[in-house]
Structure formats: structure tokens, C-alpha cells
Amino acid sequence: MSIAGPALTQRNTEPLSNQQLVKIPVCILDSSYSTVMAKGPQLPQIPPTVQQSILPDKDLSIVDFLKFRLPAAARSFDGSFTPSQEFLSSLSPTITTIEEIQVIPTPPLAVLNELVNMPELSVSQSVLCLHAPGFIAE
């Protein structure tokens, strides 16, 4: 599975051919929300209107927090993993709804930490993930 968020900037690179997309099954997610870069680190900010629905409100009670669904965690990735090549892409996103984004398992935090520190992040349009073989339910 492949995932992408809203574009940060346009990048002049050749998109993958359709054949490549078939060989490496991907779906690309996005929404049409404009992205604002967070101050300091190169971390794109979640649009406030989206944040309200995908992350629990800080005033939520513990009982309601327990009911709030979070995406599952991807259990593992296969051996040869190169974040910039495997995840960051110049392709336009294909997944655009919040509902679809919420059911995609999250990569491990170590992978995410690598991604957020990559210079390519600021010029990528989407995030790609291979279909992961197994997930841990919440």
C-alpha cells in the first residue's frame, strides 16, 4: 500500500509509469487540504480542520479516548528498506479521504523519524508504502 499526504511543493521529476505502479502495488493518499509547514523541523502541519476529526481532542475524557479509533501499527517491513526511495514520491496522491487515511496502518516510529529528517520531504508530493504483510490490531 502506498500513502501520500497533500503536496508541499511541486517537483519537476518524471512520474512513475503506470507499469511501475502495477508492479509495485501502491495506492497514494492525499486530501485536497493545503499544507502548512510546522515551525522548526521539516514536519508538515496537519490542517486544523482535519486534526479535529483524526486526532482526539485534548479535553476528551478517558472513556471517550478509549473509544477513539487510532490506525493500527504496521508490524514490519521487509529487509531492504530505503525510506527516501520507498516512501517519498513526486506522484500526485490518489487517496484523498480522511476515512481512507485513518485505516492505513502506521509505519514504525523509527521509520517516521527517518522520514521527517529527510531533505526530500519538503519537495515530495506524496508518501508511498508497499502493501505491508501484517498488522497489529489496536
Instruction: Tell me the three cell numbers of residue 16.
Output: 512513475
Instruction: Say which residues have a Cβ less than 8 Å from residue 84's Cβ, sequence separation at least 6.
Output: 118, 120
Task: Give min distance, CB of 62 to other proteins, in A.
Answer: 4
12 vs 67 by CB, closer to other proteins: 67
18 vs 134 by CB, closer to other proteins: 134
What single-letter amino acid sits at 40?
G
**Is residue 1 a contact residue for other proteins (CB under 8 A)?**
no
* 3-state SS class at 136: strand
Q: Segment 46-105, which members bind other proteins (CB under 8 A)?
A: 46-47, 50, 54-56, 58-66, 68, 70-71, 73, 101
Number of residues that bind other proteins (CB under 8 A): 48
Nearest alpha-carbon partner for 24 in 136, 135, 132, 134: 132
Q: Distance between CA 128 and CA 49 in Å, rounded?
A: 24
Q: Distance between CA 107 and CA 95 in Å, rounded?
A: 17
86 vs 107 by CB, closer to other proteins: 107
Residue ranges in contact with other proteins by CB under 8 A? 3-8, 29-30, 33, 35, 38, 43-47, 50, 54-56, 58-66, 68, 70-71, 73, 101, 106-109, 112-113, 115-116, 121, 124-127, 138
